[in-house]
Structure 1
Amino acid sequence: MGSDNETPEERRERLRQEEWKGNPTGNLRDSFHRCSNGSLVDLVGGLGWKGTGILLLVLIVGFIIYGFFYL
């Protein structure tokens, strides 16, 4: 697929893969930290704006319900 036909998400993924191939020690460090902390960028990129909005809404409603019953 040429760069003219790439979506922004595909382009970001391609650039990230190229960076990982060119810097193996950075890849090891990133993998270690991602394993322990997770990656918000990957989560939001995979969900899109609608999924991210729904996730935020669920978290906010859950916090309100928790506060109502337990605080």
Structure 2
Amino acid sequence: MSEDKETPGRRREKQRREELIRNPTGNINDAFNRAETGNLADLVASLGWKGTGILILAIIIGFIAASIFLK
């Protein structure tokens, strides 16, 4: 598909991918800002597998710490 016949959806997706390559740390900030108004699927999709793993670990550690301190 040539550049002239590119649909707006494809153009937005291409720009999003290019921005992720240029600014990977901005992706985390965008994910957390989107989480305020979005849903969990949007957060996980924008964080990627590494960010999702870190988020899950942080939640688990938080629960463990809370159970220890609130005994």
- Taking structure 1 as the reference length, what is the TM-score of the superposition? 0.48
Structure 2 length normalisation: TM-score? 0.48
